[in-house]
């Protein structure tokens, strides 16, 4: 047994970054697809909570957490589809629908999830990458969930797909110039709807991580704005899936700072450290946005460039 | 000109009929949802009416809940009039309430009238500055105000928890961390002759003033709208502390800011329309307790109805200018 002392803080932050970043990663990859097609879905927050609830409920009833992950994705897909279809209507604003979906998804999840607050559902297993070490902190930090690895693979795959596949190029074209896409004969609203639905699927999976791995139970206070921060995160990552991964790690690390400091005995500013991820997000947005130019890498038609 | 007049009437009628139709549709969808879960929708409608509007007690409950909603809805509607979509009213409520609690505590012993005014004004000031921060970030740095205002809400809640659980915690509040009580003499109390606190009066006056401001003056940059909206939400928090709770504690984080977004959208960002809509939404949330007690439904039942209503209201935007009776005849 090795005493780590102050080294516990960076190790805690790294471990926390791996643990906490997974939902960010999935939600931001989903939002990345959606935004590349020109829509913004703020309702991912509601989808995330709905995914957390349905994942937990299905895992509890079926006994298989991976079925729960799938169900969470399915719930997210449906809500994403709802957002996509609503935004196809004339005069309907995607930001406003996102806010509506956030309230709707949250309310529905709280309502349907009431019976699952108490029972204990089977959760996802972890891969002990830290088994070589005899330090419990390092072991705890390197407990990696398979979903994290899937997310990393997904980020790489998406980056490749945006560049090299027909679908990736169609999504990008719809987002950069809907006129060009229409001239090529693609149904612009349909592509956007499907991109939003796919984004919803990933956000739902991200939500299932919250309830099925870390923190690993379902309650009404489970999500704390991860779905919304992901929207900011995608802007910071310049709509690039690989950078979404780095940004998710950074946000996860910021979120782990408070508990890590608490573990070495610094508790006085605990609640203030809870604000760290939000302050980091804000700081990054302030640093990267500019009133005079559009952001490099932004889809041409995205309304965030107004 | 006569045709202009009739066009105006047609617009007004359209702006009334479409939201009411969307709300009716939301009730129907909610009824189907409840029926699918084995509940009797008619019984639920009856209970909602009973819990919200059937008796003096339920009216009192409804109006007390409507008061903060009027003010938080202004926090959405005023920036929206200036083209900004601010959804961080909850943060202004929380900080406005915290400010009022701190002011009330620090000034305890001073003349109660002065303490009350100071609590309200400083609560408004802090709320206004908080939302102005989101507006300023938009104006000077181009940061999307929807996202930044919401992130600021989480920062506000963290600040609130830090103060309430830490430096200013009243040691005697064991189970529910609170700041020290502001004292009964400093409570602002109820509207004369009614069992409803002053927040309702403030909200209505604020709405009328803002209606006049929006309609009759050219005054108002985006940033001013943020300050005024934030001040309204800050006042909502201050009133909750100074008229209801007596101290700042977790009861203040009750989601008024989020429900206010719904109110503002149903009212189509019109300050005057906010008052009746807030009464309606306040009534809905007042009936939540009734549904919980009588039918053993989760307290989130009302949230589901609100969510359905919100989605349908937004979808109904597509109907404007498309319904035959409201269309201007071609000249």
Give residue-wise pLDDT tens across range A274-286: 888 889 888 888 8
On the question of pLDDT at B26 being above 50, the answer is: yes
Locate A8 and state its tokens.
């516990």
pLDDT band at A306 (very low <50, low <70, confident <90, very high): very low
Asked if residue B320 and residue B215 are part of one domain, the reply reads no
Q: Is residue B94 part of a domain?
A: yes
On whether both B3 and B109 belong to a single domain, the answer is no
Please report the pLDDT score of residue B3 as a whole number.
Answer: 56
Q: Is the pLDDT of residue B329 over 60?
A: no
Residues paired with residue A144 on neighbouring β-strands, in sequence order: A127
Q: Are B21 and B61 in the same domain?
A: no
Q: Do B318 and A275 touch (CB under 8 A)?
A: no
Structural domain includes residue B172: yes
The alpha carbon dihedral of B307, B313, B314, B316 has a sign of: positive
- Residue-level pLDDT at B328: 61
Question: Of the given ranges (A45-54, A259-268, B254-263), which has the lowest mean pLDDT?
Answer: A259-268
Which two tokens mark A150? 């899937």
| Per-residue pLDDT reduced to its tens digit, B104-129 | 989 988 888 999 999 999 999 999 99
pLDDT grade for A266, boundaries at 50, 70 and 90: confident
Q: Are residues B303 and B291 in the same domain?
A: no
Within this chain, do residues B115 and B258 fall inside the same structural domain, yes or no?
yes
Predicted confidence at residue A240, as pLDDT, reads 93
Same domain, B6 and B142: no
Q: Sort residue A64 into left (φ over 0), alpha (ψ -120 to 50) or beta.
A: beta
Q: Which residue of B lies nearest to A268 if distances are taken between CA atoms? A: B166
Residues B33 and B113 occupy one common structural domain: no
User: In chain B, which residues have their Cβ closer than 8 Å to the Cβ of A42?
Assistant: 146-147
Tell me whether A202 touches chain B (CB under 8 Å).
no
* Minimal C-alpha gap between B309 and chain A (Å): 9
Of residues A277 and B276, the one with the higher pLDDT is B276
Shared domain for B331 and B231, answered yes or no, is: no
* Residue B120 within any structural domain of the chain: yes
Global ipTM:
0.87
Residues of B in contact with A268 (CB under 8 A): 166
The number of beta carbons lying within 10 Å of the beta carbon of residue B189 is: 11
The mean pLDDT value for A182-190 works out to 92
- pLDDT at residue B219 greater than cutoff 70: no
Residue in B137, B147, B302 nearest the CB of A231 = B147
From the CA of A235, how many Å to the nearest CA of chain B? 10
What does the radius of gyration of chain B's CA atoms come to, in whole angstroms?
Answer: 21
Q: Is residue B17 part of a domain?
A: yes
User: What CATH number has the domain bearing residue A41?
Assistant: 1.10.3470
Please give the residue that has the higher pLDDT: either B267 or A3: B267
Range of the domain at B266: 57-296
Average pLDDT over residues A99-105: 91
Would you say residue B47 lies in a domain?
A: no
Total domains present in chain A: 1
Closest in A86, A90, A225 to B154, CB measured:
A225
Flag whether pLDDT at B233 surpasses 80: yes
| Alpha-carbon span B51 to B39, nearest angstrom | 17
Q: What does the H/E/C string look like for A134-195? A: CCHHHHHHCEECHHHHHHHHHHHHHHHHHHHCHHHHHHHHHHHCHHHHHHCCCCHHHHHHHH
Interface test with B, best of A50, A91, A112, A223 (most B CBs within 10 A): A91
Please, are residues A230 and A113 in contact by the beta-carbon 8 Å criterion? no
CA distance B146 to A95: 8
Contacts of A90 in chain B (CB under 8 A): 318
Asked if residue B2 has pLDDT above 70, the reply is: no
CA distances from A279 to B105, B150, B156 (A): 29, 12, 11
Whether B147 is in a domain gets the answer yes
Residues of A in contact with B256 (CB under 8 A): none
B270 and B192, same domain (yes or no): yes
B158: chain A residues, CB-CB within 8 Å: 271-272, 274-275, 278
Q: How many CB atoms lie within 10 A of CB A165?
A: 13
Question: Is the pLDDT at B167 greater than 80, yes or no?
Answer: no
Q: Count Cα atoms within 13 angstroms, Cβ side, for B253.
A: 17
- The 3-state DSSP class for residue A123 equals coil
For residue A224, what pLDDT is reported?
77
Distance CA B222, CA B140 (A): 12
| Domain count of the fold of chain B | 2
The pLDDT assigned to B21 comes to: 93
Same domain? For B33 and B110 the reply is no
pLDDT tens, residue by residue, B131-141: 999 999 998 88
CA angle A101, A113, B93 (to 5 degrees): 55
Could you tell me if B170 and B208 lie in one domain?
yes
Q: Is B265 in Cβ contact with A229 (below 8 Å)?
A: no
Name the residue facing A274 among B140, B147, B158 (closest C-beta): B158
pLDDT surpasses 50 at B296: yes
CA distances from A9 to A256, A257, A263, B193 (A): 9, 8, 8, 59
Examine the pLDDT at B164 and tell me if it is beyond 70: yes
Could you tell me the two tokens for A145?
């969930």
Please give the C-alpha separations between residue B150 and each of A24, A224, A231, B108, B155, in angstroms, as whole numbers: 17, 11, 11, 33, 9
For residues B233-249, b (16+ Cβ closer than 10 Å) or e, as one string?
Answer: bbbbbbbbbbbbbbbbb
- DSSP letter for B169, please: B
Angle between helical axes of A146-164 and A188-212 (0-180°, round to 10): 160
Give yes or no for a contact between A22 and A48, defined as CB atoms under 8 angstroms apart: no
Longest dimension (CA), chain A: 67
Q: Is the Cβ of A291 closer than 8 Å to some Cβ of chain B?
A: yes
Domain containing A300 equals 5-305
B6 belongs to a structural domain: yes
Please give the residue that has the higher pLDDT: either B305 or B330. B305
Peptide bond into A215 cis (omega under 30): yes
> A143-144 and A127-128 as β-strands: parallel, antiparallel, unpaired?
antiparallel
- pLDDT of residue B331 exceeding 50, the answer is no
Local confidence band at B272 (pLDDT 50, 70, 90 cut-offs) = very high
Structural domain includes residue B118: yes
Same domain, B247 and B274: yes
Distance, in Å, from the CA atom of B167 to the CA atom of B169, rounded to the nearest integer, reads 6
């Amino acid at each position: 047994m090795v005493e780590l002392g102050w080294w516990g803080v960076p190790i805690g932050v790294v471990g926390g970054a791996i643990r906490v970043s997974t939902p960010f990663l999935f939600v931001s990859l989903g939002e990345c697809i959606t935004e590349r097609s020109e829509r913004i879905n703020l309702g991912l927050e509601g989808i995330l909570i709905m995914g957390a609830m349905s994942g937990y409920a299905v895992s509890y009833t079926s006994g298989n957490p991976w079925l729960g992950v799938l169900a969470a994705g399915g719930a997210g897909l449906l809500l994403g589809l709802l957002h996509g279809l609503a935004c196809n209507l004339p005069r309907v604003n995607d930001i406003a629908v996102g806010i509506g979906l956030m309230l709707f998804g949250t309310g529905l999840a709280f309502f349907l999830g009431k019976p699952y607050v108490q029972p204990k559902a089977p959760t996802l297993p972890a891969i002990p990458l830290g088994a070589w070490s005899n330090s419990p902190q390092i072991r705890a930090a390197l407990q990696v969930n398979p979903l994290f690895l899937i997310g990393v693979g997904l980020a790489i795959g998406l980056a490749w797909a945006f560049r090299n596949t027909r679908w990736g190029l169609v999504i990008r074209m719809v987002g950069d110039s809907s006129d060009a896409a229409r001239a090529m004969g693609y149904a612009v609203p349909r592509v956007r709807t499907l991109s939003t639905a796919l984004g919803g699927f990933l956000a739902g999976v991200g939500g299932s991580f919250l309830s099925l791995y870390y923190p690993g139970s379902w309650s009404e206070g489970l999500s704390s704005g991860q779905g919304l921060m992901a929207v900011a995160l995608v802007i910071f990552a310049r709509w690039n899936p690989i950078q979404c991964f780095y940004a998710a790690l950074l946000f996860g690390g910021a979120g782990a700072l408070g508990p890590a400091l608490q573990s070495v005995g610094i508790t006085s500013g605990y609640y203030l450290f809870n604000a760290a991820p939000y302050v980091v997000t804000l700081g990054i947005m302030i640093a990267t946005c500019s009133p005079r130019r559009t952001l490099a890498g932004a889809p041409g038609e995205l309304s965030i460039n107004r | 000109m006569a045709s202009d007049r009739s066009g105006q009437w047609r617009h007004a009628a359209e702006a009334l009929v479409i939201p009411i139709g969307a709300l009716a549709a939301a009730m129907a969808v909610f009824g189907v949802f409840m029926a699918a879960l084995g509940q009797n929708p008619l019984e639920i409608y009856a209970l909602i009416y009973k819990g919200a509007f059937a008796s003096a007690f339920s009216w009192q409950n409804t109006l007390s809940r409507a008061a903060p909603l009027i003010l938080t809805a202004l926090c959405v509607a005023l920036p929206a009039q200036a083209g900004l979509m601010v959804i961080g009213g909850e943060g202004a409520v929380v900080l406005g309430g915290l400010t009022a609690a701190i002011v009330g505590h620090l000034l305890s012993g001073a003349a109660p009238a002065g303490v009350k005014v100071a609590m309200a004004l400083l609560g408004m000031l802090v709320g206004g500055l908080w939302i102005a921060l989101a507006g300023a970030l938009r104006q000077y740095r181009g940061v999307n105000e929807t996202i930044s205002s919401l992130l600021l809400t989480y920062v506000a809640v963290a600040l609130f928890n830090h103060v309430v659980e830490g430096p200013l915690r009243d040691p005697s509040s064991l189970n529910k961390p609170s700041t020290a009580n502001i004292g009964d003499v400093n409570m602002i109390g109820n509207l004369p002759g009614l069992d409803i606190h002053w927040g309702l009066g403030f909200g209505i006056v604020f709405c009328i003033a803002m209606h006049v401001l929006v309609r009759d003056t050219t005054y108002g940059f985006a940033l001013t709208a943020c300050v005024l909206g934030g001040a309204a939400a800050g006042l909502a928090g201050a009133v909750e502390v100074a008229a209801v709770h007596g101290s700042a504690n977790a009861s203040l984080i009750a989601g008024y800011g989020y429900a206010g977004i719904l109110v503002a959208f149903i009212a189509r960002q019109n300050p005057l329309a906010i008052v009746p809509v807030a009464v309606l939404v306040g009534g809905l949330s007042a009936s939540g307790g009734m549904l919980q007690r009588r039918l053993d439904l989760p307290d989130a039942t009302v949230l589901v109805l609100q969510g359905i209503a919100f989605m349908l209201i937004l979808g109904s935007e597509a109907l404007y200018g498309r319904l035959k009776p409201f269309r201007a005849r071609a000249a």
